[in-house]
Every structure is written in C-alpha cells, then in structure tokens.
C-alpha cells in the first residue's frame, strides 16, 4: 500500500495553531489535526515534542563515531596487539556492529592479509562473494576506481537448478564457478553468510592446485551449522597453504561486516 504523508505546520484552526497531517492512500483521504500546546524547544503536540538530532551532517556523524570508537578501543588491552592497519579494519567492524567485545575477541588476521588485500584491490582483483547483499553494499566509487568486479552467482538460474539436483547449497557451486572463471587473475574471496563457501573454496584451490599468492580471503559467515568449525578449518588451511585471510571466529559474522572490511582497506589505499 502506498502511503504519502504531508505535514503542514502553523495552520490556523479556530484561532489556535495546529499541525495538519494528511495521509494519502489509494481511494482514502484522512486528515488528523493536533493542537499545538507549547512552542518551546520544539513543537509539542499533546505532550510530545518533536526533536532534531544533535549532529545532522553524515560526515560529522561518521567522524564523531570513529573518534568515539577509537577512544573506547583504547580501553581494551587486546586492541594494542593488532597492527595499525588491522586496527583500521577493527574500528570499521565495530562501527558497523557497535559490538566491541565480539569483534576484538573473535577477529583473526594472518600477518600479511591487509597488505596483500590492498595490493590486490589496487591491481583490479575480482571480489568473489557469497551474497548479493555484499555485492550491493560495496561502494561503486571504489570498485570503479580500481576496476574491481564484484561477482556473485548464487542467483544464477543454472546454479540454482544444479544445486537442487546435487543436493548442495547454491553457494557451494557458485564459488567454484567464480574461482574457475578467474584462475590466473587476482581475486579476493569474501564470505559473509554461508560457511559452505569456505569448504567449496578450499576444495577448489586444493584440487586445482591453485596458487594462493594472488588471492586473499575474508571469512565472516554467520550461523550455527558448520560455521565455527569452517572458520577453524580455514585458519588451518591458511597455515598449510600460505594463504592470507581475515576470519571472524565462532558463530559471529555478517555480510555487512565483509563490506565494512573491504571499505576499510579501500580507505587505506
């Protein structure tokens, strides 16, 4: 149902200021009049006062938020154990979630993850993801600037049909297809939802004997089935195959966190 509100402040009604709210729905016209009883510090209707936020500018809101996060992070001894470029990602992840303990206690980086990922992004790496939410969320400003193609095949009709036939998740097949189409090219593999992404990714890399030097991995899937163990599996894989990765350990994670991590690294370039 379409709903279009109009607000008319200051209309005279029996010599008393009123607020008239007109709500339009198909075939319906409803007019609600509320007497203004006080005009001090805002417009007050029947005891309710309209307010404005203290900070209105988007730039100022982000700036003050990041300053607050940095001050709060200073209260956590573990924060100081991370490299400066890793701290930048941590602050962005906290900005996205507002959760200090969960991020600081669960985030894992291999030593060269941030530098490798920045180099890959600068050199036009494809970003292979497991959700269209990530694809939609990554800023076009950055992907256009660095020529990064964001790839997600989970909604591809052939993938959907094949997944049904084989009894596997769409993500499992989608990541295989994406990797094989980009063999020999730089890629960032980013997972924010389905842990089957991790299993399929590792299987493809090992079976196809792919070089991990031109890739990095972001693994923040969320949930309860296969999730925590898939992340431990990836960390073990990274140690054996010299792969660079960032992992949000445990059941915690989100597609929005993948986007935040990518944006943090774009800002570091």
> Which residue bears the tokens 């029996």?
14
Q: How confident is the model at residue 197 (pLDDT cuts 50, 70, 90)?
A: very high
Mean pLDDT of 159-177: 96
Tens digits of per-residue pLDDT, 214-226?
Answer: 999 999 999 999 9
pLDDT surpassing 70 at residue 163: yes
> Which residue bears the tokens 């163990």?
229
- Angle made by CA atoms 37, 43, 49, in degrees to the nearest 5: 90
Quote the CATH superfamily of domain 107-268. Answer: Cobalamin biosynthesis CobH/CbiC, precorrin-8X methylmutase (3.40.50.10230)
Mean pLDDT of 211-237: 97
Tens digits of per-residue pLDDT, 108-149?
Answer: 999 999 999 999 999 999 999 999 999 999 999 999 999 999
Contact 185, 191 (CB under 8 A): no
pLDDT surpassing 50 at residue 25: no
CA distance linking residue 95 with residue 97, whole number of Å: 6
The structural domains of the chain, with segments of one domain joined by +, span 4-49, 107-268
- DSSP summary character for residue 41: S
Contact 199, 172 (CB under 8 A): yes
Q: What is the pLDDT of residue 48?
A: 87
59-63, 96-100, 204-208, 233-237: which has the minimum mean pLDDT? 59-63
**In the structure encoding, which two tokens stand for residue 221, read together?**
């899937």
Tens digits of per-residue pLDDT, 31-79?
Answer: 445 455 545 555 556 788 888 888 878 899 999 999 999 999 999 999 9
Q: What is the pLDDT of residue 6?
A: 41
Q: What is the pLDDT of residue 14?
A: 45
Long-range contacts (CB closer than 8 Å, 24 or more residues apart) made by 153-159: 153/177, 153/178, 154/130
CA distance linking residue 19 with residue 22, whole number of Å: 10
pLDDT surpassing 90 at residue 10: no
CA distance linking residue 121 with residue 148, whole number of Å: 7
Give me the residues paired with residue 43 across strands: 39
CA distance linking residue 234 with residue 219, whole number of Å: 8
Tens digits of per-residue pLDDT, 178-193?
Answer: 999 999 999 999 999 9
């Amino acid at each position: 149902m379409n709903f279009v509100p109009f607000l008319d402040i200051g209309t005279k009604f029996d010599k008393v200021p009123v607020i008239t709210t007109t709500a339009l729905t198909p075939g319906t016209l409803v007019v609600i009049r509320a007497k203004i009883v006080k005009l001090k510090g805002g417009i007050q209707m029947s005891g309710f006062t309209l307010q404005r936020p203290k900070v209105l500018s988007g730039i100022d809101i982000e700036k003050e938020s990041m300053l607050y996060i940095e001050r709060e992070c200073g209260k956590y001894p573990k924060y100081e154990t991370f490299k400066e470029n890793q701290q930048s990602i941590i602050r962005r992840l906290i900005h996205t979630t507002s959760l200090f303990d969960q991020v600081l206690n669960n985030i894992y980086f291999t030593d060269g993850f941030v530098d490798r990922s920045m180099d890959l992004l600068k050199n036009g790496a494809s970003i292979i993801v497991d959700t269209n939410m990530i694809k939609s969320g990554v800023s076009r400003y950055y992907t256009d600037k660095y020529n990064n193609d964001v790839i997600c095949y989970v909604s591809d009709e052939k993938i959907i049909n094949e997944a049904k036939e084989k009894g596997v998740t769409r993500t499992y097949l989608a990541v295989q297809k994406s990797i094989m189409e980009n063999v020999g090219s730089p890629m960032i593999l980013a997972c924010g939802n389905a842990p089957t992404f991790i299993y399929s990714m590792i299987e493809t890399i090992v079976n196809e004997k792919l070089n991990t030097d031109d890739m990095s991995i972001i693994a923040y899937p969320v949930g309860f089935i296969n999730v925590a163990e898939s992340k431990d599996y990836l960390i073990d894989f990274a140690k054996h195959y010299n792969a660079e990765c960032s992992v949000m350990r445990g059941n915690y994670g989100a597609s929005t966190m993948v986007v935040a991590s990518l944006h943090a690294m774009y800002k570091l370039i």
